[in-house]
Each structure stands twice: as structure tokens, then as C-alpha cells.
């Protein structure tokens, strides 16, 4: 990234959150769905959203400046990506993920970043994730897990296509949440069965999606904490997706050793997470996500391929390598138990 050389670039960073909030507000009004449904003028949209025209005009103008909508002769049109991802019933609809996870959980968490930088925990007895999602008055396990599921479907299918699990019959999905990755691997590998280990509040949502996919008989559930709950053994594959970025650096060796113990000889461990390069230069999206992990756990590490591979190697694994999974966002490290 080229160093900034103009004060306006600094100002743009300080105001950047306003564009995010404009998007969150539009999703709250379901504005893009209404445009897609034929409410394309200011008057029509004001009526459809029950929003005063002056306020709606200001929001639409902000959305135009970041390319989410365009306007010609008073008629509004969704941008192509908006039509695909931010409209109800669209092929890639992930409005709930943006609303609940990014607009709610992450945005709220980053309000506490300065406190996390001082090493303070937002909730003294638990991580921010557990506190904001599962505490009384929080987001709620079902709502959060469902939102995560919507955002994970595409990446899960991508991983299941790229990772060959031919011959494997037992998969342990640690921190598997709604089961999006589990279900993608089961669909790709008909002889595979799986166990999802995650907090008790996620289990019913995961069972719902397994039933919906017709795979309930192939998915077992263990309710608990990945650090303290016993893992089942004799696994062919252990998957940890977005787990290492959510725990403290002191917990990562524990996860690596537990994965080693849970696998059969020759078994495969998959660590999928936000990672920056080993020089810590980027990419930006991965760096931002890792920064957003600090309010959840001030001991969280800035993950790199070298760090992840080193932790697995220390636990006894033979490293197969690390490769990009989601461009500019996540990497996937593979390793085998000898």
C-alpha cells in the first residue's frame, strides 16, 4: 500500500465508517429489495419504506456516492452486485450476515477496540463473542448462527470443492457453528460423516440446517468449548474455520495438540482463517478482520501462514502448505499427522 501523502486521505479514513452505516441503514429498510420490486422513484421508495422523502433522499445520495445504486431521470437502479447479494431471494443474498454480523456484532465490537488495545476484556468472564451474542439482551444464538450460515455458504462450497476428502469417513468440525462447512463437505463426499463441536446455543440452528439439507443422520453434535471440552478421537479430518483468530495466542498450541490427538495417523487438519502475509504487509481485508478479533479476545494473534504452520509443526504435524481460500481475506493451511 502506497503511504498516504495528503490530508484528504486521512480524512477519508476517519469518515469511512459513514459509508458502512449508510449500507446498514439501507439494509434495515430493505431498500434494495424494494428497488428491485419496482419502487424506483423517491416518492415510491418513501411510501414503500415509510420514510420521509428528505431523509431518504439523503441516504440514497450517500449510496450513490459509493456505487450501490445509480439514478437516471429520477429512477433508481441497484448496482449489479447489489442485485445479486443484497436483494431478498437473490442467488447470493446475505443481507442477514451484513445486518447481524457486520452491522451488529463487528461494529459494536470495534467500539471497544481502544479498550482491547489496553488488554482489557469487554466481558470479564467471557469473550465478546459469547457476551454480545449469548448474554441476556444480546443478539441471540439462533439469529447470529443463521446470519453466519448465510455468509458462509459460498465460502464453504468453495472449500469443499478445493479440498479432496476422498476416502475420509469422519470429520470433526471444531467451532462449526451452523454447520455450513460440514454440510458442504458432506454433500461433496457421500461417505463422510461429521461431528460439530460448538457452544450449546448453536446446536439447534445447526440441527435445523442439517434437517433442511436431509443430512441429520450424518451429523452428530457436541456442546461445549473447544479449549476445555473433550474431542472425539479416530478422526480422518479436523477442520477449524475462523477459530484460531477468535482465541488467545496461549490457546492456539492447545488447539493444535488437540487436533493432533483427535486424528488417526495420516489424518488431515485444516486451519481456515484470516491471515496476513508473513511480512505483515496485508492484505487489507484480512488485517481488518484480525483487528476486529481483538475486542473478542485481547490475546488474539495476528495470524500469518508462517505462524499457523509453526504452531502445527510444534504439535507434531507435517505441513502440506498454505494457500489462499477467499482472495484478500482468508488462507487455508493443511497438515498431516504422521
Domains annotated for the chain, with CATH where assigned, are 7-93 (1.10.10.10), 95-144 (no CATH), 162-336 (3.40.50.150)
Q: For residue 133, what pLDDT is reported?
A: 65
Q: For residue 31, what pLDDT is reported?
A: 98
Other C-beta atoms lying within 10 Å of the C-beta of residue 49: 18
Cell, residue 43? 416518492
Cell, residue 287? 488485517
pLDDT tens readout for residues 318-335: 999 999 999 999 999 999
pLDDT tens readout for residues 26-47: 999 999 999 999 999 999 999 9
Q: For residue 48, what pLDDT is reported?
A: 97
Is the pLDDT score of 124 beyond 90?
A: no
- Nearest CA-CA partner of 191 in 236, 161, 232: 236
Q: For residue 136, what pLDDT is reported?
A: 47
Between CA 12 and CA 268 the distance in angstroms is: 44
Task: Concatenate the DSSP letters of all residues of 166-183 into one string.
Answer: TT--EEEEET-TT-HHHH
How many alpha carbons fall within 13 Å on the CB side of residue 59?
23
Is the pLDDT score of 19 beyond 80?
A: yes
Between CA 282 and CA 263 the distance in angstroms is: 33
Question: Burial letters for 150-180: b for 16+ Cβ neighbours within 10 Å, e otherwise?
Answer: bbbbbbbbebbeebebeebebbbbbbbbbbb
pTM for the whole structure: 0.88
- Nearest CA-CA partner of 259 in 293, 284, 236, 291: 236
- What confidence category does residue 279 fall into, taking pLDDT thresholds of 50, 70 and 90? very high
Q: Assign residue 52 a region: left if phi > 0, alpha if psi is -120 to 50, beta otherwise?
A: beta
pLDDT tens readout for residues 137-169: 455 566 676 767 777 778 899 999 999 999 999
Stretch 265-269: mean pLDDT: 98
pLDDT above 90 as % of the chain: 78
C-alpha to C-alpha distances, 273 to 97, 229, 267, 284, 300, nearest whole angstrom? 18, 22, 20, 14, 13
Amino acid at each position: 500500500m502506497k503511504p498516504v501523502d495528503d490530508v484528504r486521505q486521512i480524512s477519508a479514513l476517519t469518515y469511512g465508517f459513514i459509508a458502512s452505516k449508510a449500507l446498514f441503514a439501507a439494509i434495515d429498510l430493505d431498500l434494495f429489495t424494494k428497488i428491485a420490486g419496482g419502487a424506483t422513484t423517491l416518492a415510491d421508495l418513501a411510501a414503500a419504506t415509510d420514510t420521509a422523502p428528505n431523509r431518504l433522499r439523503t441516504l440514497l445520495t450517500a449510496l450513490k456516492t459509493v456505487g450501490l445504486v445509480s439514478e437516471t431521470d429520477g429512477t433508481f437502479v441497484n448496482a449489479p452486485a447489489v442485485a445479486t447479494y443484497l436483494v431478498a431471494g437473490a442467488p447470493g443474498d446475505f443481507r442477514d450476515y451484513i445486518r447481524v454480523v457486520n452491522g451488529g456484532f463487528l461494529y459494536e465490537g470495534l467500539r471497544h477496540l481502544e479498550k482491547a488495545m489496553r488488554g482489557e476484556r469487554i466481558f470479564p468472564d467471557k469473550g465478546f463473542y459469547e457476551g454480545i451474542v449469548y448474554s441476556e439482551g444480546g443478539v441471540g444464538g439462533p439469529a447470529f448462527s443463521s446470519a453466519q450460515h448465510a455468509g458462509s455458504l459460498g465460502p464453504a462450497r468453495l472449500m469443499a470443492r478445493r479440498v479432496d476428502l476422498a476416502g475420509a469417513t469422519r470429520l470433526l468440525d471444531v467451532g462449526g457453528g451452523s454447520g455450513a462447512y460440514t454440510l458442504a463437505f458432506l454433500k461433496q463426499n457421500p461417505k463422510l460423516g461429521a461431528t460439530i463441536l460448538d457452544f450449546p446455543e448453536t446446536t439447534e440452528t445447526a440441527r435445523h440446517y442439517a434437517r433442511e439439507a436431509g443430512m441429520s443422520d450424518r451429523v452428530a453434535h457436541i456442546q461445549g468449548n473447544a479449549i476445555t471440552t473433550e474431542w472425539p478421537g479416530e478422526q480422518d479430518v479436523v477442520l477449524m474455520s475462523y477459530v484460531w483468530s477468535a482465541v488467545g495466542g496461549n490457546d492456539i498450541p492447545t488447539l493444535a495438540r488437540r487436533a493432533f490427538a483427535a486424528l488417526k495417523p495420516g489424518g488431515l487438519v485444516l486451519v481456515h482463517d484470516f491471515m496476513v502475509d508473513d511480512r505483515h504487509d496485508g492484505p487489507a481485508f484480512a488485517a481488518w478482520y484480525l483487528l476486529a478479533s481483538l475486542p473478542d479476545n485481547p490475546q488474539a494473534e495476528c495470524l500469518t501462514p508462517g505462524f499457523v504452520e509453526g504452531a502445527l509443526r510444534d504439535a507434531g504435524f507435517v505441513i502440506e502448505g498454505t494457500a489462499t481460500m477467499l482472495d484478500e481475506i482468508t488462507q487455508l493451511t493443511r497438515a498431516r499427522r504422521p
